[in-house]
Amino acid sequence: MSVHSVNRRLMAPDISALKGDRPIVALTSYHAHTAAIADKYCDMLLVGDSLGMVMHGYETTLPVTMDMMVVHGRAVVRGAKRALVVVDMPFGTYEESPSVAFRNCAHVMKQTDCGAVKLEGGRRMAETIRYLVDRGIPVMAHVGLTPQSINVLGGFKTQGRTRAEWAAIEEDARVVTEAGAFSVLLEAIAAPLAARITASIPVPTIGIGASSACDGQILVMEDMLGLSPRVPKFVKKFGAVATAIEDAIKSYAEDVGSRRFPEEQHAYGMKEPEGAPSAAPPAQGPATKKPKKLST
């Protein structure tokens, strides 16, 4: 199935149906104009909580709020017309209980009109995923490296590098799939493990640093465009946007400083009736009244 083979926005079941058909193309997006461009080529756009780092300058995703996700989610939905838009649920908005998760996820979906949400966590989130799906909220699960748990993991560490770690991660993927997740994002896990998980579950796996064995791939858009100053090993830079932006700003500053910009074609002239003088007469100073002569 092509993104252009259906005359509507893609939905979670459409993404699930792509498993075994062709690779799924996904990217993050945080604003309407990049969403409109990516929408031509992507099956799915993720409004990731990574926006806290790449858009707002935080060191981690933990400070991201639900209001931030709603603002950026609305923008992406407005920009994209075909791709499924998935919104990340930020840290602290879904872990407390299934009912709290439902209230917050429903709020995000109603406010953004997105097509699904994404939750981090495996077995510990299975009950919540089932609760949400049973109540009409499509869920993308996220296992392996879960950035919202870096304080427990001890940093952004690759998962599954030893076989002793495999069973727990495989179990995470299995239980979230059984709970009803329409796809599973695998982040920063060893390639052989990603291949095993992809072969063992009936829904698509979307890899980010998890090898080409996955059913699809996703990257942070700013990373793959060469806009982020530091990127993980698994990122391939498909562009050099940071260099292009800096070159453009440097040229702008030089032109402003030397008065080469703006030129005549960048300025607005006057609209005057035919026969009217081309320029207003010089401004006169304020009229002054002669002082009255005082009678004696």
Annotation says 165 is catalytic = no
CB 186 within 8 A of CB 173: yes
* Residue where the block lists tokens 């995923």: 129
CB 198 within 8 A of CB 28: no
- Binding-site residue positions for Mg(2+): 49, 88, 120
Beta-bridge mates of residue 47: 87
HSE, CB side, 13 Å, CA atoms: give it for residue 217: 13
Catalytic one among 95, 187, 264, 272? 187
- Binding-site residue positions: 49-50, 88, 118, 120
* Residue where the block lists tokens 């530091």: 230
φ/ψ of residue 151, rounded to 5: -70, -25
CB 214 within 8 A of CB 24: no
User: In sequence order, what DSSP letters do the residues of 71-124 get, joined into one string?
Assistant: HHHHHHHHH-SSSEEEEEPPTTSSSS-HHHHHHHHHHHHHHH--SEEEEEBSGG
CB 108 within 8 A of CB 114: yes
- Binding-site residue positions for 3-methyl-2-oxobutanoate: 49-50, 88, 118
3-class secondary-structure state, position 170: helix
Tokens of residue 282, six digits = 């010089």
User: Which of 117, 125, 123 is closest to 182 using CA atoms?
Assistant: 117
Sign of CA dihedral 218, 219, 220, 225: negative
Task: DSSP letter for 173, please.
Answer: H
Residues annotated as part of the active site: 187
